[in-house]
Structure 1
């Protein structure tokens, strides 16, 4: 095992020593990035403190495709990035409400609002109109998490984790009721 690790280390070292920038443009790109150290440190932090509309904080840690959270331990977790103006997002709300109620003992769904500066009263009215039963999170932490989660930029986009915290499936677009129930009914 030690020999294998040594061989890997030597191979990586050789790659770094014998490769360099292909052009001046690549080097300039690095210089143009003005991100300070604190911002880089914040982006690399894999712990997310998501603020819900009712004032709670849900703390999640995601590393190596494993989600850990004291509040959500032992449950399937669906992280759903969505927006109030998105028709497919609205269309999947009844499915989410149904699954959330049906499997509430072993399933947690977190709606991660992908809108900046959404008026709190407008959001509350939207949640009431669509009878949203699951927690909705708001704030800048949602966007930091979206960036870390494969740079979410199409919504709805959802990530399903198993009871053991391991990543199971990524959904781009609507989450199908039958597909989700196949996981939750186990």
Structure 2
């Protein structure tokens, strides 16, 4: 019995003291983790959207003066489809100070939807806001803490602060209250 305890403790010590390799560099004797902080996504019109994660801020270079709603979705998600009319309404109502960017996550098979598939999706549901995809979507998701539930929406003020994160479908009225608060802080 004593041997089992010692073996268990030895294995546990090895597991705890050795870690999985990660992407780290040594510069001047200091260990630095390589973390990607700038991401490029492509919307269905071919426009590049540059998103920067700076500490706890999200900066969308093209819309620095606007409140941003990042909507992480998939084309097969029924709740995502159900929220489209309310997102269309909000984009129309607050167009001067507000921008919705929907970001397409992986399909059920793990692949990202093509731009052509997203154009068809956008047309089918009469979406009036930007829909984006790109190779860096998964890295962006990880950098934001990992998007585990679809839909996930992040409301970002003009200073890049994440004001709210919503998991699942959110009533339009609730989104609008938070958008108005963010507009008041502008």
The TM-score with structure 1 as length reference comes to: 0.77
CA contact 2:71–2:154 (8 Å) conserved in 1: yes
> Given that residues 40 and 134 in structure 2 are in contact (C-alpha distance below 8 angstroms), is that contact kept between their aligned partners in structure 1?
no
CA gap 1:119/1:67 in 2 versus in 1, 3 angstroms: closer
Aligned to 1:131: 126
Aligned to 1:73: 64
1:83 to 74, 83, 92: 74
Equivalent in 82, 92, 100 of residue 109 of structure 1: 100
Q: Please, which moves more after superposition, 54-63 or 116-125?
A: 116-125
Task: Give the structure 2 partner of residue 182 of structure 1.
Answer: 177
Post-superposition offset of 1:45? 2.0
* 1:134-176 CA distance string (max 9 Å, x none): 1111122111101111111211111111122211011110132
Structure 1 residues 36 and 162 mapped into 2: Cα distance closer, same or farther (>3 Å)?
A: closer
With over 3 angstroms needed to count, the CA separation of the structure-2 counterparts of 1:45 and 1:36, relative to structure 1, is: closer
SS of 1:71's equivalent in the other structure is: helix
Q: Quickly say closer, same or farther: Cα 1:36–1:155, change in 2 above 3 A.
A: same
Matched-pair contact (CA < 8 Å) for 2:154–2:164:
yes
SS in 2 for 1:170: strand
Q: For residues 96 and 124 of structure 1, what CA distance do their matches in structure 2 show?
A: 17
Aligned length: 159
With over 3 angstroms needed to count, the CA separation of the structure-2 counterparts of 1:119 and 1:71, relative to structure 1, is closer
The structure whose residues are more often strand, as a share, is 2
1:32-74 alpha-carbon deviations (Å, 9 max, x no partner): x3x5559x63xx1211111112111111212232222331112
Cα RMSD of the aligned pairs, angstroms, is 2.0
More helix by share: 1
After superposition, residues 12-51 of structure 1 pair within 5 angstroms as: 23-30=13-20, 33=21, 35-36=22-23, 41=34, 44-51=35-42
Q: CA 1:102–1:117 in 2, change beyond 3 Å: closer, same or farther? A: same
Unaligned runs of 5+ residues in structure 2 are 1-11, 26-32
